[in-house]
């Protein structure tokens, strides 16, 4: 089979996934108990007024008509107005995405790099004190609840020692000038990013250490040592490269999570991110907002899966998408 065929098949299955997600997004939210007026608990709001509200959301139309409109909106990337804010869903997402990306991209990258490095070092020094330190710090990082770590950091470094700000992603009022604004942003994001790195690196370290311990026990590593290769070359050039594909898969599959946000971190540090938006959209039956956000997440997940496939071939020459003729 040619590699072109492989990619055609992958793209076709990805589109199928998108169609399924698109349909589920519509029907599952409507199957949830209640409707957008359910959480409106106000005795001053009469049943007639609630009907008017549903009408203003377009929910008085037949379900099939609503579905067609929804599909049209999703495919044209015009997601309509959020029920809760009455603002275009795009505008809501655009307001939030920069903070979410500024929080989660650096933390994912730093956690992955730090965790991977420590994992490799722990595997290298198996049985030594350094491995014990990595294993212990990894387990501690992995097991502490995020809100606890974040509140402690906030208390220590924003209140007791006021080195960092208590809240938000910008000072009030914001400073003037591009560089001042950039510096202000970095200053505000430092503590939330640090907290996520502290919480996140442990799982990477433990995972990579286990992978590397297994890989370093393989015959080809023994052969490399027998050939007299340097330890660094064996570790990074041979063993790590062999262990890399599953690490890359996990990295790429973590990327959609970067878009879906981190509700607790956003709440503790008062960051205006996508996580809280998604939570409110689902719990408030905000169909346009929830539908759009989950549709975009599905798209990004599918794209990241394709990217992970492509990266496999790049990092591991043994992997080819051509069918081997026997």
Partner 1 sequence: MRDSKALYNSKVFALVAFTALLFAFAPHIGAAAPFDEYDLPTIEDLYCVIIKDNDAQLLALEGGKVDMLGDIARISDIRRLSDNEKIDLYLAEGFHAFFLGLNLRKPPWDRVELRRSIWEVLDRKQIVRDVFGGYALPLFSFLPPASPYQAESPVGESNLEKARERLEKSGWRWSKKGVLIYPGQTKPIPRMKLMTPTAQVAPTTAEIAERICESMRGLGIPIETEPMDFSMMVSRLDRRDFDAYVIAWGLSRDPDSLYAFYHSSMDIEGGYNISGIKLPDLDEALEALKYAKDENEARAAAREAQKLLYEYVPQVPIYSRYYVTALRNDWENAVTSKYTTPDNVYSFLSLKHREDRKNFYWSLPEEPRNLNPMSAGSAYDWQVLSLIYESLLGTDPFTLEDIPWLAKSWRIETTDDGRERTRLFFVVREDIKWHDGKPFTAEDVKATIAFMRRHSIPRYYDNVKDIEDIKIQGDLVVITFSQRSFWYLHQIGGLPILPAHVLCNTEDWRSLSPDKLIGTGPFQFASYKPGEYVKLLKNNNYWRRAVR
The binding site for partner 1 (CB under 8 A) comprises 32-34, 37-53, 55-56, 81-82, 84-87, 92, 95-96, 99, 151, 154-155, 158-159, 162, 166-170, 172-174, 266-273, 276, 283, 285
Smallest separation (angstroms) from partner 1 to the CB of 315: 38
To the nearest whole angstrom, how small is the minimum distance from the Cβ of residue 62 to partner 1?
Answer: 19
What count of Cα atoms within 13 Å lies in the side-chain half-sphere of residue 174?
Answer: 14
Check if the beta carbon of residue 245 is closer than 8 Å to that of residue 315: yes
Q: Cβ of residue 28: shortest distance to partner 1, in angstroms?
A: 14
**Tokens at 212, concatenated:** 């590397």
- Measured distance CA(203)–CA(138) in Å, rounded: 6
Q: How far apart are CA 129 and CA 125, in angstroms?
A: 8
**Nearer to partner 1 among residue 151 and residue 222 (C-beta):** 151
* Closest CB to partner 1 among residues 233, 283: 283
Which long-range contacts link 126-133 to residues 24+ away (Cβ below 8 Å)? 126/213, 126/216, 131/209
Compare residues 42 and 219 and give the one whose CB is closer to partner 1: 42
In the complex, the smallest distance separating the C-beta of residue 166 from partner 1, rounded to whole angstroms, is 5
Nearer to partner 1, 130 or 267 (CB): 267
| Pair 136, 253: CB distance under 8 Å | no
Whichever of 108 and 154 has its CB closer to partner 1, that residue is: 154
- Residue 112 CA to residue 7 CA, distance in Å, equals 28
Q: Are 208 and 115 in contact (CB under 8 A)?
A: yes
Residue number, 126 or 167, with CB nearest to partner 1: 167
CB 215 within 8 A of CB 234: no
Shortest approach of partner 1 to residue 73 CB, angstroms? 16
How near is the Cβ of 70 to partner 1 at its closest, in Å? Answer: 18
């Amino acid at each position: 089979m040619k590699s072109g065929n492989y990619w055609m098949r992958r793209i076709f299955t990805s589109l199928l996934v998108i169609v399924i997600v698109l349909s589920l997004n519509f029907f599952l939210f409507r199957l949830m108990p209640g409707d957008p007026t359910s959480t409106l608990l106000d005795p001053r709001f009469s049943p007639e007024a609630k009907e008017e509200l549903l009408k203003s959301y377009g929910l008085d139309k037949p379900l099939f008509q609503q579905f067609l409109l929804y599909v049209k909106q999703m495919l044209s990337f015009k997601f309509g107005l959020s029920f809760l804010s009455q603002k275009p869903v795009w505008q809501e997402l655009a307001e939030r995405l920069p903070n979410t990306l500024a929080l989660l991209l650096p933390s994912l990258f730093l956690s992955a790099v730090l965790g991977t490095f420590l994992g490799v070092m722990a595997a290298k020094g198996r049985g030594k004190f350094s491995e014990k330190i990595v294993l212990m710090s990894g387990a501690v990082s992995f097991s502490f609840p995020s809100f606890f770590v974040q509140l402690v950091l906030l208390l220590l470094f924003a209140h007791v020692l006021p080195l960092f700000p208590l809240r938000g992603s910008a000072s009030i009022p914001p400073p003037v000038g591009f560089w001042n604004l950039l510096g202000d942003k970095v200053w505000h994001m430092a503590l939330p990013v640090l907290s996520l790195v502290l919480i996140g690196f442990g799982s990477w370290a433990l995972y990579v250490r286990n992978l590397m311990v297994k890989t370093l026990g393989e015959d080809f590593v023994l052969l490399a040592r027998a050939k007299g290769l340097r330890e660094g070359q064996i570790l990074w050039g041979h063993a790590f490269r062999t262990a890399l594909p599953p690490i890359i898969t996990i990295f790429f599959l973590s990327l959609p999570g970067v878009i879906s946000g981190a509700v607790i971190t956003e709440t503790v540090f008062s960051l205006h991110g996508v996580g809280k938006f998604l939570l409110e959209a689902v719990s408030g039956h905000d169909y346009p907002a929830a539908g759009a956000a989950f549709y975009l997440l599905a798209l990004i997940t599918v794209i990241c899966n394709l990217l992970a496939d492509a990266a496999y071939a790049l990092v591991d020459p043994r992997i080819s998408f051509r069918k081997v003729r026997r």
